[in-house]
């Protein structure tokens, strides 16, 4: 039982890491400054938009399946006498679905990279680095904490 819980917690952290690492591609086509800085053509923007929307729809389907399987797993683990075989089977199904999520994101990333020229890709990478540095700097300053979180009840 303890082993299953450790695996489950590890999966959650892995999923969060993967999601954040590909997040910058999701709304690339909406960022006007990025479009200008990278010098994307209208055709490139439309291609990226279509790709992003299709991927997002596919992701919603897979993530809903993951959530349903996680509910099933909780139900198995909450039983007085959990069925180890069923729990392990559900974990394997969840892992397969999470692999599907990673594959979808990777395919999207590769397709977007194929859409960009090498110069545009370089500018995009530079934009990501700058964005990341601003995010880290803002986080260190504490700008991410809203004042109402510090209020006492």
pLDDT in tens, the chain (153 residues): 666 656 655 555 544 444 444 455 556 667 888 888 889 999 999 999 999 999 999 999 999 999 999 999 999 999 999 999 999 999 999 999 999 999 999 999 899 899 999 999 998 888 888 878 887 887 776 655 544 444 444
Cβ atoms within 10 Å of 141's Cβ, excluding its own: 9
CB 126 within 8 A of CB 34: no
* Whole-structure pTM value: 0.66
Return the structure tokens found at 4: 């299953």
The sign of the CA dihedral 28, 33, 37, 43 is positive
């Amino acid at each position: 039982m303890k082993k299953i819980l450790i695996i489950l917690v590890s999966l959650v952290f892995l999923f969060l890491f993967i999601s954040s690492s590909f997040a910058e591609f999701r709304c690339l086509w909406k960022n006007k400054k990025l479009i200008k800085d990278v010098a994307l053509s209208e055709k490139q923007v439309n291609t990226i938009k279509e790709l992003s929307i299709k991927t997002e729809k596919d992701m919603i389907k897979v993530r809903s399946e993951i959530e349903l399987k996680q509910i099933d797993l909780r139900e198995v683990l909450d039983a007085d006498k959990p069925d180890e075989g069923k729990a392990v089977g559900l974990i394997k199904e969840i892992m397969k679905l999470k692999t599907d999520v990673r594959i979808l994101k990777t395919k999207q990333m590769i397709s977007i990279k194929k859409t960009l020229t090498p110069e545009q890709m370089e500018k995009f990478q530079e934009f990501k680095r700058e964005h990341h540095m601003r995010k880290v700097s803002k986080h260190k300053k504490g700008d991410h904490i809203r004042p109402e979180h510090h209020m006492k009840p």
